[in-house]
A = this chain, B = another copy of it.
Amino acid sequence: MLEANQPFIIDSVEPSVDGGRYPIKREVGDTLKVRATVFRDGHNKTRVFLKFREKHNAIHWIYAPMQSVNEGLSLWAGQFKLERNTLYEYTIEAYTDIFQTWLEGTKKKVAAGEEVRSDLVEGRMMLERILAGNTPKGEKAYLEFVLSRIDQAASDQERLALYSDQELTKLMERSGPRDDLTTREPYLEVVADRVRARFAAWYEFFPRSQGSDPNRSATFRECILRLPEIKKMGFDVVYLPPIHPIGVTGRKGKNNSLQPLPEEPGCPYAIGNAAGGHMAVDPALGTMEDFIEFEKTCRDMGMEVALDFAINCSPDHPYVKEHPEWFFKRPDGSIKYAENPPKKYEDIYPLNFDAPEPHRRAIWEEMRRVLLFWIERGVRIFRVDNPHTKPVPFWHWLINSLQKDHPDVIFLAEAFTKPPMMRTLAKVGFTQSYTYFTWRNFKDEITAYMTELTQSEHSEYMRGNLFANTPDILPRILQEGGRPAFMMRYVLAATLSSVYGIYSGYELCEREAIPGKEEYLNSEKYQFKVWDWNRPGNIKAYIETVNNIRRVNAALHGYRNLRFFRSDNPNILFYGKVTPDKRNVILVVVNVDPFNAHEGAIYIPLEEIGIRQGDHFELQELIAGGKYLLQDRHFHVKLEPSQPAWIFRVDKWEQKEQDFDQFNM
């Protein structure tokens, strides 16, 4: 029921997620722009404010005035800057400005030649009411001074001029009556993540495959030797699949074989053995100190480590002995392995998130302890394996409770599941999400999907991290399309989204698949591997170039600024990004067919990039080089598979003779 003393209606607040049930997401330094419909009955003068504060560090509310932007629709707009990496709460407040309503009405009456003696008494009473209240001494003295001048004034006009004094206006805004002050509830929230949550290039590798001996695991120390190359290619995040001791019971061999050879290392997603569980490192990789050294080296080079958070336990995980009640049990008391009848996963014991209390809560707390363990060791990014197989309320609690103290921690959801679950995981807290990008290959489906991700309400809470491949997904387009496809899909990932990733081997155009499947043959998930990181046909230089383009062009740091533009050829995708000030404009043209050259007209969106009809402008191609001078929106392009994408920076050609000192002297 609406409250009698809160007669304003404040609704249609945008942006918001499910009417404020979940926070929206932005990044530090952003200005949050808010719109809402605000009104009450009658025609009195309304004041509307955005009221905001840091939720976990709330000393006082800060107020930002909102402006009427469409009177007929009662639409108001305001904004505030997200200065810190934290969770903000905000709401909207409205009240009737009795004083200004009175002042404007009285002025109109005087202008119409009406008698206003009684009105002037009313105005005086409003000031007296403040004088009689808890107003600071300075204000009182000022009010008494104003009242004495009003009493001495010679005419109504003069009195109204005194009531219109700027200082009095401010005082009344501060201390005037707000009897009908209405506050929108529930309050809204915005997560201000650090910028790396939005802008980063991820590189995934299996640490044990970073060495030169095919018969043993590589070590963290060997991994360190790989970092300069990864840095040179331009990556920001080095993401490692699980680094913990690997189970022995039910261990899988090469190519997921159920009969492993004794020397085979097992799959790192079967976590835990006698050497420890989620808070230990696989001794084959080195010691905890080695990991810490690896993490520190990354950080010193300006990169960050992302760890895999996979809740699976192997039958040899210490939890199995320490907390058998955390697992599913058979009637005979033995613990059940994972199954999806008739499939069996005998190397995995799933935790029972539906266990009766106090066990469920104990599991939740233990998972939090695991993440805090790694946070204490410098890790600030977690890629979460299969989050959709654990309860949503668990993630809601886990992420919010961790980010309260550690707002800089980033969570990437490997939510390869149905769209509602993927979106909900983002709503309840995941910083980023994997997407269906690998299965969107053609112009129409890329356009539709990326528009949904970056332009719809989804973009308020979900940042799609576009992985071009993963250890589980070697897409058909890469298998068949070869090097041109690897280049093409790379540019798409790196420019459609501000945050994207590849799994190592991509730069080598590795594409040996299990026939008829999207899986790698001889996958690193099940065996040691040694790579020639400089093998012929690699696209490392190409990757370096594209990442450099990303770095120096601020437009590509944006996620929600993607726009698709017209191109006549159905194989040529044309899109771009522009900074809010339009000073950096990037246009991208991609031939999405890796097998054939395509050509056709593209249409430069002059209005959206701030170029007036008739202006001259230059397109500078940033991958291969080249400059094009244009005065028109039409541009003909031809893209060969060997050079499947162009990235243009647009510059106005606007220097005139008047711009030079010589001319003005």
Contact = CB atoms under 8 A, between A and B. Distances in A.
Interface of A: 1-4, 6-7, 9, 11-12, 18-19, 21, 37, 39-43, 72-74, 104-106, 108-109, 111-112, 114, 118, 121-122, 125, 179-180, 330-332, 339-342, 353-354, 360-361, 364, 388-394, 396-397, 400, 418-421, 424, 428
Given A74-B420, A111-B342, A418-B39, A331 B118 contact: yes
Give 4 nearest A-B pairs by CB, closest first: A112-B342, A2-B393, A19-B19, A7-B391
A108 B342 contact: yes
A72 B424 contact: no
A468 to B, nearest CB: 24
Nearest to A108: B341
Contacts of A353: 7, 41
Within the oligomer, what is the number of copies of this chain? Answer: 2
Contacts of A342: 108-109, 111-112, 114
7 contacts: A2-B392, A4-B393, A11-B18, A39-B418, A41-B390, A74-B420, A121-B332
A74 B330 contact: no
Q: Is the interface of A mostly helix, strand, loop or mixed?
A: mixed
Given A2-B428, A109-B341, A330-B122, A39 B396 contact: no
A39 B360 contact: no
A340 B43 contact: yes
A488 B287 CA distance: 87
A91 to B, nearest CB: 15
Contacts of A118: 330-332
A2 to B, nearest CB: 4
Given A108-B341, A122-B331, 5 more contacts: A1-B397, A9-B392, A41-B390, A41-B392, A73-B420
A421 B112 CA distance: 31
Contact of A420 (B37, B125, B330, B396): B37
Given A72-B418, A331-B125, A418-B39, A393 B18 contact: no
Contacts of A106: 341
A175 to B, nearest CB: 19
Contact of A9 (B111, B397, B420): B420
A179 B396 CA distance: 20
Contacts of A391: 4, 7, 40-41
Contacts of A114: 342
Contact of A41 (B2, B12, B180, B388): B388
A19 to B, nearest CB: 4
A332 B118 CA distance: 8
Contacts of A364: 4
Nearest to A98: B354
A19 B186 CA distance: 12
Contacts of A109: 341-342
Given A109-B342, A180-B354, A391-B41, A1 B396 contact: yes
Contacts of A37: 420
Contacts of A420: 9, 11-12, 37, 39, 73-74
A2 B4 CA distance: 31
Nearest to A3: B393
B331 A393 contact: no
Contacts of A332: 118, 121
A7 B389 CA distance: 12
A37 B422 CA distance: 13
A419 B12 CA distance: 13
Contacts of A340: 43
